[in-house]
Amino acid sequence: MSNPVPPHKQKLDEVLRSNAEINALLSQQVGEQLSHLHPPIERLGNLLAQPTFIMVALAAFFSWIVFNLDLKFITNKPWDEPPFYWLQGLIGLLSLIFTATVLVSQTRQAQLAEQRAQLQLQVVLLTEQRTAKLIDLLEELRRDLPNVQDRIDIQAEALRQASEPEVILEALNELQDQQQADNT
């Protein structure tokens, strides 16, 4: 006999599923902005980020050096004599590929982070507005109840007003300007 899932766990599952869908939607929107070259570049970046790749690359570089030094002593004609110009070119090319791969991946991750930050800002602003409305309703209820003593609550009066993001942003900018002036 199976135990029924409690309603609060069902609701939590629904919320978590909804949050996962929002996250997938954000990732999908960023994915739609990508060119057809992004997926293979990111797969290459995932390959290059593996510790195994680093060990294989170091072993290959070491083998290159040893093989060319052996050829120098055996045949006097190594195909890449010290200071190993071809190896340096190969390392330079790999560095270019690494750098480009990292930049492409970071750009996409930055776009996704910016979208998430914008979504988070909207949720925070909405939550703040809801909280201000709840405080307003509670204060109205307190004033209307005949058996509750009516009094002025200065803090509740201040909190029931929704914040003005423009004023907050201006204050933050002024604070940042002041801190920069103090540092100079």
| Per-residue pLDDT, 96 | 95
Q: Does residue 62 have a pLDDT over 80?
A: yes
Q: At what angle do helices 85-144 and 38-48 cross, to 10 degrees?
A: 110
pLDDT-derived band of residue 85, with 50, 70 and 90 as boundaries?
very high
| Per-residue pLDDT, 12 | 67
Amino acid at 6: P
- CA–CA dist 21, 13 (Å, integer): 12
The separation between CA 41 and the C-alpha centre of its own chain, rounded to angstroms, equals 19
Tens of pLDDT along 116-159? Answer: 888 888 888 888 888 888 888 888 888 888 787 777 778 877 77
3-class state of residue 50 by DSSP:
coil
pTM metric for this prediction:
0.57
Q: Which two tokens stand for residue 89?
A: 């070119």
3-class state of residue 49 by DSSP:
coil
Least confident of 1-10, 14-23, 30-39, 53-62: 1-10
Tens of pLDDT along 12-49? Answer: 677 778 777 877 777 777 677 778 888 888 888 889 88
Nearest to 70 by CA among 82, 58, 85: 82
pLDDT-derived band of residue 88, with 50, 70 and 90 as boundaries?
very high
- CA–CA dist 120, 24 (Å, integer): 15
Question: Strands (DSSP E) along 31-178, which ranges?
Answer: none
